[in-house]
Amino acid sequence: MIIPALKKLYYRYINNLDIVEKNKFDSINDTCGIVVNYKTPDLIKFFIYNFRITFPKLHLLIVDNSNFDRSTDIIYSVCKKDGNMTLLANMFNLHHGPGLHKAIQYIENYFKFVLIMDSDIKFNRIGILEDMKTSIPNNFLCCGKVIHVNEKGININSKEKNVIPYVHPHCMYLNIKEYFKFSPAKLHGAPFLDTYKSVKDQGKHNLLIDFDVSQYITHYGRGTVIRTGGYHTKNHPKYSGNK
């Protein structure tokens, strides 16, 4: 076991892995998976196992906000063995929304679409990507379970005032090019709140495609929150993003 004080030195060569995987990106397919991990080794270990069974050839980018804890060790080891996964390790907790945004920026020149997933989901059957693709028009922003939230990101009835249609990112298919036309994911319990606010403000609700992901996955919910004691949305001193 590498002592924590030396882990940052040990993982400096992760950048070499990133470069190798990045060079492969444009030769895989048009979609990449993204998941964010924060100090939940049991969740991410099972997620990776379940993901690879469901998607044998899909590239997976794992954003690790754990500051090199045991889960980082697990992810790095799996990425090295798998050869079709990339670890994007942050030096501090960049948080869920900013971590997703960084990952999308990282792959934007290599993929057209991204399947965003929470680490506390389980795929129960194959075929979700294929069925999503048959459900979407050529011009779309994202496809997934559409819920309705208020301006604070709290679930509300669709008939209430100031409602914002919100595609839940526990399993969401995203058009990268369209995403960059709207506000980015942010530091919030509902990370795409500003994104969908800007969709609403521009009157482009038609870009959100409702799709019943529950036919394919189980979302256990609050997996990271329960294990780590909260949403951790306090600004890190090194992070200059908006809350």
pLDDT in tens, 196-240: 999 999 999 999 999 999 999 999 865 455 444 454 545 554 444
**Residue 53 CA to its chain's centroid (Å):** 19
What average pLDDT does range 103-108 have in this prediction? 92
* pTM, rounded to two decimals: 0.84
Token representation of residue 5 = 């004080």
Q: 241 pLDDT band (50/70/90 cuts)?
A: very low
Q: Which of 22-26, 132-136, 171-175, 225-229 has the lowest mean pLDDT?
A: 225-229
Question: Domains in the chain and their CATH numbers?
Answer: 8-228 (3.90.550.60)
- Higher pLDDT among residues 31 and 10, named by residue: 31
- pLDDT over 90 percentage in the chain: 52
The burial of 88, by beta-carbon neighbours within 10 Å (0-12 exposed, 13-18 middle, 19 or more buried), is given as buried
Token representation of residue 150 = 């208020």
To the nearest 10°, report the CA torsion of 144, 31, 74, 87.
-120
Q: 88 pLDDT band (50/70/90 cuts)?
A: confident
What average pLDDT does range 136-143 have in this prediction? 95
Residue whose C-alpha is closest to residue 37's, from 98, 89, 83: 89
Which residues partner with 63 through β-bridges?
36, 88
Distance CA 56, CA 53 (A): 6
Long-range contact pairs involving 210-213 (C-beta distance under 8 Å, separation at least 24):
210/144, 210/145, 210/146, 210/167, 211/131, 211/132, 211/135, 211/143, 211/144, 211/145, 211/173, 212/145, 213/128, 213/144, 213/145, 213/170, 213/171
